[in-house]
Structure 1
Amino acid sequence: MSKHVPGPIGYIVKRYPRYSETFIVNEILAHEAAGTAIEIFALRSVEESHFQDILGQVKAPVTRIRDKYTGPDTIWAMIARVRDTLPGAWDALARLDGLNGQDIVQAIDIALHCHARGIVHLHAHFGTVSTSVARGAAALAGIGYSFTAHAKDIYCDYAENQYLDLKLRDATAVVTVSDYNVGYLQDRFGADAGRVTRIYNGLDLDRFAHQPPSPNATGILAVGRLVEKKGFHILIEALRLMAAAGRAAPCTIVGSGEEAENLSRQIAAAGLQDSVTLAGPLPQGAVFDAMRSAAVLACPCVVGGDGNRDGLPTVLLEAMALGLPCVATDVTGIPELVRHDETGLIAVEGDPEALADALTRLLNDAELRQRFSDAGRERIAADFDVAVNAARLRDVFTAATASSLRGVA
């Protein structure tokens, strides 16, 4: 059982809500179910029209932090207010290297909210702008901060320095979502990453009734943003190879994104218009319905040209919890979840022939699909229960808060 967190926790995210970040909503709901007060700070405006079905269950208030300021007088007034309100803030400002002007002003805003609302700790998701602002706000407010590093924030080659080294150094605690990430961060950053803890993202298993796939199911399902790292261009080539080999299969790709037009052209060039559907974004409930009727989920992740890659896609957790067997690739931490020939099949990243072989093998073997369905659900229950994993995260918050109160953070 997790220790009691001695006050509200402020969650800092770039945008809230965001359809692809179901794991954040799951985590907040688990904290609230355990009695922990959460306040959400969003740094940028909402850009999407589809959201998670469970969003309405979140009780935490959302404060949308202004990200555009008119004239120096407004900014100076905020600096003067934080100087007069928060002891030590002026000295903290002098120590905040690695932040740009917008980060600092938003950090001031959040620090003042923390002081007014009695927030005892800040937690950010992704080690980019949200953690930049969390680092600044925590220093100004005299509290600690932690962050969860995922994938893009670790591996992407950003044009501007994200100062991940400073964030790792100054955080009272750091979490990441796979053992693979832990090893990478420790290899890259050495002692500054020595405190990184692996806590998997999780699901509320009560929402995911296990249902083995129908022996007669024939469809392939893929879900995700239509961007390079999702590897849907590799999937379409695999489907072309399967059709050429006499094993055509219907496939639905759910999602939207910058690669939609390219994927549509690729489908047409391959002559797959009658069997491959780009369905666009769908509500979460409709995605789960599609999972219950499909034969296999394809998750053909690749490393993008800029280094961007997935960590542990939530869609894999959801599919395996529901009982849909999965074919995925050997990118980052995915093999920690989809264990080859145990809980699913792993194909070599970027290899359409290997992906086609794995999909064909599963489509041709109803008994194997049943075995992976059962084993996949057991794997999710063992290590990806959000109630258990959120409790571990609250233990991190409690320890970090105690450390800050002792003045050693």
Structure 2
Amino acid sequence: MRPEPRIGYVLKRYPRLSETFVVQEILAREAAGERIAIAALRPAGDPCFHPAVAAVRAPVTWVPRPTGSEALWEAMERALPELPRVLPELLALRPADAVQVLHVAQWVRETGVTHLHAHFATIATTVARLAGRLAGVPYSFTAHAKDLYHHDVDHDAVRAMLAEAHHVVTISDHNARWLADTFGAAAARVARVHNGLDPATIRFREPRDREARVAFVGRLVAKKGLPDLIDAMALLRERGRPTPLDVVGSGPLSETARRQVDELGLTGLVRFHGPLPADAVAGIVGAASVFAAPCVHAPDGDRDGLPTVLLEAMALGTPCVATTVTGIPEAVRHDRTGLLVPERDPAALADAITVLLDDPARGIRLARAARALVEDRFDRADQAAALARLVRGERTPDPASLPVEVPA
């Protein structure tokens, strides 16, 4: 009799404030009846976490990460019978990472995990791949954006991950096409499965009679495009439309953004809230008249895949303005579910924000359509069902089945 399946998630850090999509995915799979266990390679280190984390039933194991070669040799000694399967690649890792491979393999045996799944084509997938080989279970992973497009990405390593995986998930049609174009036959088992939300828990409110203000939520890093939005807010003020901007999040560019606000004389209009839990974020986004996602291709190649917070804004009923970067047009369909503008174009961004501020009827139309799209294409229950089919070896719909219209 085959054991009841149990999915073991291998995550670099858990729970991450900026990775709500992981928590939503696990909750959806648990709601569908799947058994989950979590192995975290590092502590999260975030100042707070989302309340949804408390609803996750899966046990969490923080994998020991001792430094120094002595711990590696001790762990290898315990795994001697299986070592030939992974030894050359194990020795190519840093000792601490190699020790974690051995610990995760042991965790798989002890917990009855039958399939490993990692997020991001980075160390988490490397650990899942080698630990799965040691323990004799298949692995899969979800590829997002930075793990594909950053200039430091090792394409040979990604190719090996793709080639050996039972299946590979990626979050947008854009990513799926890029993987096929870049890696050819190695990407044959890639399936697009959009990140999902639970629409039933997100209260939709039409954007009627809201105060004129713009919301931005995200890590303050180059790919989020916040400098362009700040420039756009300065343009609005110059045009006689001074509009408050709420910035939620933190990151390495926090001080740079604050200096830009000061230099442009926007101190009284822009409020930096720092990182906030999900309910506080929903309050700010749900009260805004516009949500802006001015994402860009960063100089280091990094870019957003399809920001979950953008889907959340659409579900809440806040009209969205976004750029045409990677998978964003799969959710924000121009003048149907939001407005799209070119990246790095503050004037176009300011124009689109003005349209939504001046035309409430259009904002309501876009908000209704955006909510309908989230319910139809981004429900986490559908996401969980697609992931379960992939574990069973069944195909998901062809990524090319979702046409996307991008404005000229």
Residue 277 in 1 paired to residue 274 in 2? Answer: no
Is residue 50 of structure 2 the alignment partner of residue 14 of structure 1?
Answer: no
Could you say which residue in structure 2 is the equivalent of 1:134? 128
Kept after mapping to 1: 8 A contact 2:41/2:65: yes
Two-structure CA RMSD over aligned residues (Å): 1.8
Question: Does the residue aligned with 1:44 lie in a helix, a strand or coil?
Answer: strand
1:195 matched residue in structure 2? 189
Counterpart contact for 1:297–1:327, Cα < 8 Å: yes
Provide the residue aligned with 2:398 in structure 1. Answer: none
Question: What is the alpha-carbon distance in structure 2 between the residues aligned to residue 59 and residue 89 of structure 1?
Answer: 33
Give the distance between the partners of 2:24 and 2:205, measured in 1 at CA: 21
2:202 aligned partner: 208
Q: Secondary structure at the match of 1:307?
A: coil
Could you tell me which residue of structure 2 aligns to residue 406 of structure 1? Answer: none
Conservation of the 8 A alpha-carbon contact between 1:220 and 1:251? yes
Q: 2:230 aligns with which of 216, 236, 250?
A: 236
1:298 aligns with 2:292: yes
Aligned to 2:101: 107
Q: How is 1:249-398 mapped onto 2 (pairs within 5 angstroms)?
A: 249-398=243-392
Amino acid at match of 1:41: A
Separation of aligned partners in 2, 1:246 and 1:236: 16
> Which residue type is aligned with residue 224 of structure 1?
G
* Secondary structure of residue in 2 paired with 1:371: helix
Displacement of 1:90 after TM fit? 2.5
Q: TM-score by structure 2 length?
A: 0.93
Greater CA drift, 59-68 or 144-153: 59-68
1:36-55 map, 5 Å: 36-55=34-53
Q: Deviations over 1:59-82 (max 9, x none)?
A: 11111112223442x322211212
Q: Deviations over 1:174-231 (max 9, x none)?
A: 0000000001111111110122100000001111121111234311010011111111
Per-residue CA shift, 1:119-155, capped at 9, x if unaligned?
1110000001110111110111111100000000010
* Residues matched between the structures, number: 393
Task: Indicate the SS of the match to 2:393.
Answer: helix
What whole-Å deviation, never above 9, does each CA across 1:276-335 have from its counterpart, x for those lacking one? Answer: 111111221111111221101011001111001100001111010111110000100000
* CA-to-aligned-CA distance 1:90-136 (integer Å, 9 cap, x gap): 23434668644433221111001111221111000000111011111
Return the offset for 1:35.
1.6
- The question of whether the paired residues in 1 share the 8 Å contact of 2:91 and 2:98 is answered with no
Superposed CA deviations along residues 209-262 of structure 1, whole A, max 9, x for unmatched, are 211112343110100111111110000001111111112211111111111111
- Aligned partners of 1:259, 1:24: CA distance in 2, in Å? 25
What's the counterpart of residue 25 of structure 2? 27
Tell me if 1:165 matches 2:159.
yes
Are the aligned partners of 1:213 and 1:323 in contact in 2 as well (CA < 8 Å)?
Answer: yes
The DSSP-based 3-state class of the residue aligned with 1:20 is coil
Query: For the Cα contact (< 8 Å) 1:214–1:293, is it kept in 2?
Result: no
Partners of 2:67 and 2:95 within 8 A in 1? no
Q: Which residue matches 2:112?
A: 118
Q: What amino acid is the match of 1:48?
A: D
Letter in 1 for 2:229: L
Q: Which runs of 5+ in 1 are unaligned?
A: 401-409
Given the superposition, is the C-alpha separation of residues 341 and 159 from structure 1 closer, same or farther in structure 2, using an over 3 Å criterion?
A: closer
Structure with more contact order per residue of length (Cα contacts < 8 Å, sep ≥ 6): 1
Greater Cα offset, 268-277 or 89-98: 89-98
Compared with structure 1, are the counterparts of its residues 95 and 276 closer, same or farther at alpha carbon in structure 2 (3 Å cutoff)?
A: closer
Choose from 60, 79, 84 the match for 1:82.
79
- Normalised TM-score (structure 1): 0.93
**Contact 1:6-1:398 within 8 A present in 2 as well:** no
- Evaluate the alpha carbon distance shift between residue 377 and residue 244 of structure 1 in structure 2; reply closer, same or farther with a 3 A threshold: same
1: CA distance between counterparts of 2:190 and 2:140?
10
Instruction: State the match for 2:60 in structure 1.
Output: 62
